[in-house]
Amino acid sequence: MASLTGTETASSSGAPWRWIYDVFLSFRGADTRNNFVDHLYAALIQKSVHTFKDDEQLETGMSIPLELLRPRFKIFSRNYATSSWCLDELVKIMECRNLAGQTVIPVFYHVEPSVVRHQIGSFADAFAKHEVRYKEKVPGWRKALIEATNISGVDVSNTANGRESKCIEILVDKIVQEKSHMVSSVVEQFVGADSLVENIQPFSLHK
């Protein structure tokens, strides 16, 4: 499983997870795994964006430290709310965003943002069942959904005239630009550190 490999790599090297993956794809597998998500994943990999795809292999009770994965594509689809796993994960993702300012990009696939925000339509049906089995979790799930829809995201049906391939291109370009910016920032930090060392060395030599 990909998550085990990542865990072992992180623990053996001492490197934090956040340096292992550039992007985390979170989605409802039954709706998007073999279409939109598969194409988005392939496009990201093609651009050398190291991507963690949260697929059905993780729905076995295994937990992963979400704070290490950045940024996150949260893909909402028609049957998204039927999964308690997805809703629990969303709560964690929003907590990480609120605490650490990590990037979350909501993507609405064949579902209106208003349906997600107000939990109507297919989301209302799902929550009616959750109220019986997961009553104590429902308020947190609803809050997380509202918070997620307040973030600037992408409505696939209303982007590029509904052309999914173009929408994916837009999403990938956004991530590539962000990745380039992050690399530039790290380089600047190292350059700044070198300058600081150069300024300190003459003083040290006179001691």
pLDDT at 153: 93
Structural domains in the chain, CATH included, are 2-205 (3.40.50.10140)
In this model, does residue 67 exceed pLDDT 80? no
Among 33-37, 104-108, 187-191, the minimum mean pLDDT is found in 187-191
Among 71-80, 108-117, 194-203, the minimum mean pLDDT is found in 194-203
Chain segment 75-94, per-residue pLDDT in tens: 999 999 999 999 999 999 99
Q: Coil, strand or helix: which one is 27?
A: strand
- How far is the C-alpha of 138 from the C-alpha of 88, rounded, in Å? 10
In this model, does residue 16 exceed pLDDT 60? no
Contact 70, 19 (CB under 8 A): no
Q: The dihedral of CA 152, 158, 159, 163: what is its sign?
A: positive
Q: Residues of the chain with pLDDT > 70: what percent?
A: 69
Q: Which residue reads 């997620």 in tokens?
A: 148
In this model, does residue 8 exceed pLDDT 60? no
Active-site positions read 89
Q: How high is the mean pLDDT of the chain?
A: 78
3-state SS record for the chain? CHHHHHHHHHHHHCCCHHHCCCEEEEECHHHHCCCHHHHHHHHHHHCCCCEEECCHHHCCCCCCCHHHCCCEEEEEECCHHHCHHHHHHHHHHHHHHHHHCCCEEEEEECCCHHHHHHCCCHHHHHHHHHHHHCCCCHHHHHHHHHHHHCCCCEEHHHCHHHCHHHHHHHHHHHHHHHHHHHHHHHHHHHHHHHHHHHHHHHHHHCC
In this model, does residue 3 exceed pLDDT 90? no
Chain segment 131-172, per-residue pLDDT in tens: 999 999 999 999 999 999 999 999 999 999 999 999 999 999
